[in-house]
A and B are shown apart, each in its own frame.
Chain A
Amino acid sequence: MTDAPETRTMNMIQAINSALDIKMGVDPDIVVMGEDVGFFGGVFKATEGLQKKYGKTRVFDTPITECGIIGVAVGMAAYGLRPVPEIQFADYIYPALDQIVSEAARLRYRSAGEFTAPITVRSPFGGGIFGGQTHSQSPEGIFTHVSGIKTVIPSTPYDAKGLLISAIEDNDPVIFFEPKRIYNGPFDGHHDRPVTPWARHPASAVPTGHYRIPLGQAAIVRPGEDVTILTYGTMVHVVAAAVAEKGLDAEIIDLRTLVPLDMATIEASVKKTGRCMVVHEATKTSGFGAELSALVQEHCFHHLEAPVRRVTGWDTPYPHSLEWAYYPGPVRLSLALDKIMQD
């Protein structure tokens, strides 16, 4: 028996900051790098105070070149460090694709384990902040398609810290996408209502010390019998609100890790409910929802009472003024839930 760990109320930024702090404190090989992450503490403040505490050679600003940031991280990892680079917005990760896809993701395989890339690439992603097409995208499907990298997306402060610690300790490269819309509080999809702070959510009680949430383990956010809803990130909260408004007994699964996926939890749930809906903010075509839909069909075909349904962002670039018509919010979810229950 041990005492319950000391906790503090944290929003997601503070939880991420705490994970970095805890890990840097015990592992001198961890370095944090990226545009504006040093003195300024990052444009979202996730690395605030770390440079002061751990020094400029472990927490530093970088030139504005995403390809350079990841390439340098691969080299540092080859030396034996454990870099945690930040890409300021997921929308700016594309210049780094070659270093992520052809290098970080392939290093272990092509050198038969001689070199590895234990890198955690943190990056804010997703919309809902009027950021237009270059501050809103959800490109997770691009990375889940690449063999050799893991993709992790938290939905609460508690998970963010535990998952980030696991990601940093993991010996493979991890893309860690942070849903920026819920950095400061959960979002129920009703953009016209006041924002609620994390403090009122139970998952804002975050242990101050070290703990892990293993990669590859989903969480059942709400157990239920009628339909299984697979989702992650901001949409976990939007879905929970829509389900509550409908009074539906849905089982909501927060995937937390997209690769490797917790197929056992998904399979058990869909076999129980017989229905499955997949929800993400990213565009539909070739999105991660397509993979989930195929897997559910492969694993649970004989238990399905209705076709698997996807609720996603539209297949357009992310618009600015029409953001809320684009966003898969309460109405889209409500209509889809009606349909899947009638199918």
Chain B
Amino acid sequence: MTSEEPRRNLRPLSLHVPEPRFRPGDPVDFADFDRGRAGAVPRPDPDVSPEAIREVAYSLVRVLDDEGQAVGPWNPRLAPERLIGMLRHMALTRAYDDRMYRAQRQGKTSFYMKSTGEEATSVAAAYALDRDDMCFPSYRQQGLLIARDWPLVDMMNQVYSNRGDRLKGRQMPIMYSARAAGFFSISGNLATQYPQAVGWAMASASKGDTRIAAAWCGEGSTAEGDFHSALTFASVYRAPVVLNVINNQWAISSFSGFAGAEATTFAARAIGYGIAGLRVDGNDALAVHAATEWAADRARDGHGPTLIEHFTYRAEGHSTSDDPSKYRSAEERSKWPLGDPIARLKQHLITIGAWDEERQAAMDREVAEEVRAAAKEAEQNGILGEGLHFPFSTMFEDVFEEMPWHLEEQLGEMTEEWKASGR
């Protein structure tokens, strides 16, 4: 069938398959990447119609310039104390990631995923939302929990799957759930949280509540049907929700072109749905804060959803299970034209005279010590595979509210099994 001669005089078709610009060993040059000028993108009022801001979906909202000044209409004009708070939470997130990654390498748990280089996209967003707004994260938003001052020990207990884990050792590491922090239970299945966030927002609206919802997913995950269902519902019901796409350029080994980035931006996905779309420099904490605040105001004022693309870079491997040097050029990270979010916020604080190298060094020591102390405490509750886990019987709890007969029966069988095993 495929070997048929082309019909009439038509040109034979050919199939386009995207290819990233740089592969392992390639020299990296981002010279033709147009990041725009910091402060150049206009900031419309949050009640603007989606068509009127189409351009923003193709631009890059940036606040911090190369000298570390905050410039332009999107400058959120935050007090230095708040900026320092953000810096500290971002540094804490990075220190936490480093420690847990090492713990996995030491065999203390089965798996880990870092958010290195993407800290601003969750920490600065958390700062712009209200504490009781509901977050529907993907697996790379540990920064939300940390920014909401959730105890590190609790997070580590989950990573170690130990007897202190509130989730009873049931979930893979990093699949946190923290209702009291407004942080929805993380699923391993990509993009499922997107329509759920919209549903939560619709419920809040239908009850006359004042809280809004926010969701996060990776650029790769925007291909899933759930992403598109979410946008349709959000648009139809003008749901008070902030939908974040973390475009860190990679989805495991697949570059963003396999999610459609060769043809358009992820922010522009909003346009077809009649939703406001913003595209921001995700390594600029001030831009992330400003965009989130804009979208939250818009949602609270009844103007519906916003899709925000955070343009950033996944500085490390996808997880502890892959080696990124096998599929991308190691130079991408150092040549990334938008820098590092922590370094840039630090530079800004120094530029405005609110910070210096000594204080930075002291803070780095402090967060490292905080993480070290938390890990020590968490490890007293056990590490994966060391016997300090939840009792076996808890495996049968929470399948249903009440345990049906067949699970009772299986629980009995398992108890017999453990007696027989002599452990």
Contact = CB atoms under 8 A, between A and B. Distances in A.
Interface of A: 28-29, 35-36, 38-40, 43, 56-57, 60-68, 79-81, 91-92, 94-95, 130-135, 284-285, 314-317, 319-322, 325-326, 331-332, 334-335
Contact of A91 (B188, B389, B390, B399): B188
A68 B252 CA distance: 18
A261 to B, nearest CB: 25
Given A80-B1, A132-B172, A325-B418, A64 B188 contact: no
Contact of A331 (B188, B399, B406, B417): B417
Interface of B: 1-3, 14-15, 17, 19, 23, 110-111, 161-162, 165, 169-173, 175, 187-190, 220-221, 223-226, 251-254, 258-260, 321-322, 326-327, 384-385, 389-390, 392, 394-396, 399, 406-407, 410, 413-414, 416-418, 420-421
Interface centre among A29, A35, A64, A65 (most CB of B within 10 A): A64
Contact of B260 (A56, A63, A91): A63
A317 B187 CA distance: 13
Contacts of A63: 220, 223, 258-260
Contacts of B17: 38, 56-57, 60-61
A67 B395 CA distance: 32
B410 A314 contact: yes
A285 B410 CA distance: 11
Given A43-B322, A64-B220, A130-B384, A80 B395 contact: no
A64 B396 contact: no
A321 B390 contact: yes
Chain B residues touching A, majority SS: loop
A81 B2 contact: yes
B164 to A, nearest CB: 12
Contact of A335 (B1, B3, B258, B416): B416
Contacts of B224: 64-66, 95
Contacts of A94: 189
Contact of B111 (A57, A68, A130, A335): A130
B410 to A, nearest CB: 5
Contacts of B322: 43
Contacts of A40: 252-254, 326-327
Nearest to B396: A316
A321 B406 contact: no
Contacts of B23: 39
B257 to A, nearest CB: 9
B2 A325 contact: no
